[in-house]
Copies of this chain bind each other. A is one copy, B any other.
Amino acid sequence: MQRLRIGLAQINPTVGAIKENVRKVMEYVEKARGLDVDIVAFPEMVLTGYPPEDLLLKPQFIEDNIRHLKEMASNIKDITAIVGFVDAKEDIYNAAAIISSGRIAGVYHKMYLPNYGVFDEERYFQAGRKPIVIEFNGTLIGVSICEDIWYPEGPALYEALEGAEVVININASPFHVGKWKFRERMLATRASDNAAIVAYVNMVGGQDELVFDGHSMVFNEKGELIARGRPFEEELIVVDLDVEAVFRGRLHDPRRRKEKLFLEEGEVERVKVDQIKEGKRALPPREAHPPESDVEEVYKALILGTRDYVRKNGFEKVVIGLSGGIDSSLTAVVAVDALGKENVTGVFMPSPFTRKESGEDVMALVENLGIDFLTLPINRVFMSYLQLLKAPFADLRPDVTEENIQARIRGNILMALSNKFGWLVLTTGNKSEVSVGYATLYGDTAGGFAVLKDVQKTMVYELARYRNSIGEGPVIPERVLVKEPSAELRHNQKDTDTLPPYSILDPILKAYVEEDRSFNEIVSMGFDEELVKKVIRMVDRSEYKRRQAPPGIKITPRAFGKDRRMPITNLYESY
């Protein structure tokens, strides 16, 4: 038994771009072979991208991915590769191909199909029924896919009992803040419980609402972390594994001999592959990338999510309406960090209700960022609407109608610039606003991608301060961080005219939206009854706005969108 060299290729595929994904897989296969890697593992469904959603209902899509897999397999030699794809038998499966010596030596079918949160795998796939181990002269390696590893009695257990010293788990696991800690704790437990090395490889990249954060990990058989990939970046993580230590450690483990009794012959599939390469020079131990703070990882998620949404959809440049407020300022900074300052245009659209300070703050931001910039005052257009609507509105007093007209004029202008110049409009609303519907549909919600959609206002401030603290000094003017939030759609308007302070609103929203807490539970957290009632009502009644809002990046355990599927027509009153 020898040193086994494993490679975890955390790469960034694109949904539907099968050919391009194959090209990228082959690039990393070559890279791994150059490093004398014995077995290289790629993320779940790396050939199709994840999640392809209802593309999976198209027979041709499935056929295309299998055809490309087979073609690709014939070019993979002198290394074993585990590649995620969609298999088709009497039904379709979320699958991992084990490729060796130019052929598909075996295929594993995912056994646990997630069907909660953002996942719909029961909609598409049949569940697999058989664990699998790869036989590498003497060394056994188990394979499983994503959700599989979260179950103590899942395939990894059976694979370890069959003798696998290493269990490889391939993933397309979407990011939310701090999720890596849960993964790390669970994987460490799984490794020590099974007395097996656990190698976890995760996808990287943005796909609509989701960001895959990479952050691949390897744990030894004692559950100790021995390697960690970078978050939010493509990387090939190469580690030498001491499989002999695993084997030795198991010889006198009475628990294992007892459990072994439950396994019947043939219950676990066996696949033979190449020999382990001999005479490799030992790699130096890997420096584990240190974990990041919450705010740091959220910021990186926003950058990657924005960059991938823009680029994968064929855009180069974006346009953002700048108000001088914290949300649009932070959105612009994220856009510049994601795409480069030459690809971002800011548009300032003042009205008579816009304060002088707002214009100054916009100018300061634009100068700090060095982005292109337009000023388009909306007053004359606004007046033309009021003139047109004078008769039907007769003597009715101005109300939210006139405020919304202004926001929708701005939306129309941004979309016109988008149409004329091919720029994608980034919207700037945050999760607190989106939750309570404090936004104008077709106005400030108009655009292709909502960068801060899942970021509460209090977190927006944290992110702004964090970003000001790194790089070449502050980019968001200090005044933007301290002034009172306002939509500036009427004189002296403040967010607090309509909403409680965000320091109170945000925890109520978190409890209600992300944790499904009841009215009574939230009140018992110490909030005013009437206020909680009002907030719940605002959230429930603005579902229709969210249904027409652009997608944005999920950073919490529950985002709006696919993650939270509420009826619009809904008369439930929980208070």
A interface residues, Cβ below 8 angstroms from B? 14-18, 20, 51-55, 57-61, 64, 115-116, 120, 122-123, 206-208, 308-309, 312-313, 374, 376-378, 380-381, 383-385, 387-389, 392-393, 396, 399-401, 404-405, 408-409, 411-413, 415-417, 419-420, 441-442, 446, 448, 516, 518-520, 544, 547-551, 564-574
Task: Name the residue of chain B whose CB is nearest to the CB of A17.
Answer: B571
* A390: min CB distance to chain B, Å: 10
Ranked 8 nearest A-B pairs via Cβ: A16-B572, A17-B571, A401-B419, A60-B518, A442-B442, A384-B384, A122-B122, A408-B412
Knowing A55-B572, A549-B548 touch, does A420 contact B408 (C-beta < 8 A)? no
Chain B residues with CB below 8 A from A409, complex form: 412
Chain B residues with CB below 8 A from A206, complex form: 569
Task: Name the residue of chain B whose CB is nearest to the CB of A409.
Answer: B412
New contact pairs (10) apart from A53-B566, A408-B442, CB-CB < 8 Å: A16-B572, A18-B572, A54-B566, A122-B122, A207-B567, A313-B544, A376-B389, A404-B415, A408-B408, A412-B412
* CB-based contact A312/B16 at 8 Å: no
Chain B residues with CB below 8 A from A389, complex form: 376, 413, 416
Chain B residues with CB below 8 A from A59, complex form: 516, 518
* A349: min CB distance to chain B, Å: 9
| Distance between Cα atoms of A574 and B55 in the complex (Å) | 10
Chain B residues with CB below 8 A from A20, complex form: 571
Chain B residues with CB below 8 A from A574, complex form: 58, 60-61, 64
* A421: min CB distance to chain B, Å: 8
* CB-based contact B567/A16 at 8 Å: yes
* CB-based contact B442/A419 at 8 Å: no
* CB-based contact B376/A392 at 8 Å: yes
* A259: min CB distance to chain B, Å: 26
Task: Name the residue of chain B whose CB is nearest to the CB of A406.
Answer: B412
| Distance between Cα atoms of A387 and B308 in the complex (Å) | 35
* A388: min CB distance to chain B, Å: 6
* CB-based contact B52/A567 at 8 Å: yes
Chain B residues with CB below 8 A from A208, complex form: 567-569
Chain B residues with CB below 8 A from A411, complex form: 408, 442
* CB-based contact A55/B570 at 8 Å: yes
* CB-based contact A120/B376 at 8 Å: no
Task: Name the residue of chain B whose CB is nearest to the CB of A311.
Answer: B569
Knowing A309-B569, A380-B387 touch, does A400 contact B416 (C-beta < 8 A)? no
| Distance between Cα atoms of A61 and B401 in the complex (Å) | 35
| Distance between Cα atoms of A94 and B441 in the complex (Å) | 35
* A249: min CB distance to chain B, Å: 37
Our pick among B399, B413, B442, B548 for the contact of A420 (Cβ within 8 Å) is B399
Task: Name the residue of chain B whose CB is nearest to the CB of A60.
Answer: B518
* CB-based contact B572/A15 at 8 Å: yes
Chain B residues with CB below 8 A from A569, complex form: 14-15, 206-208, 308-309, 312-313
* CB-based contact B404/A419 at 8 Å: yes
* CB-based contact A441/B415 at 8 Å: yes
Task: Name the residue of chain B whose CB is nearest to the CB of A569.
Answer: B312
Chain B residues with CB below 8 A from A547, complex form: 550-551
| Distance between Cα atoms of A420 and B207 in the complex (Å) | 39
* A564: min CB distance to chain B, Å: 6
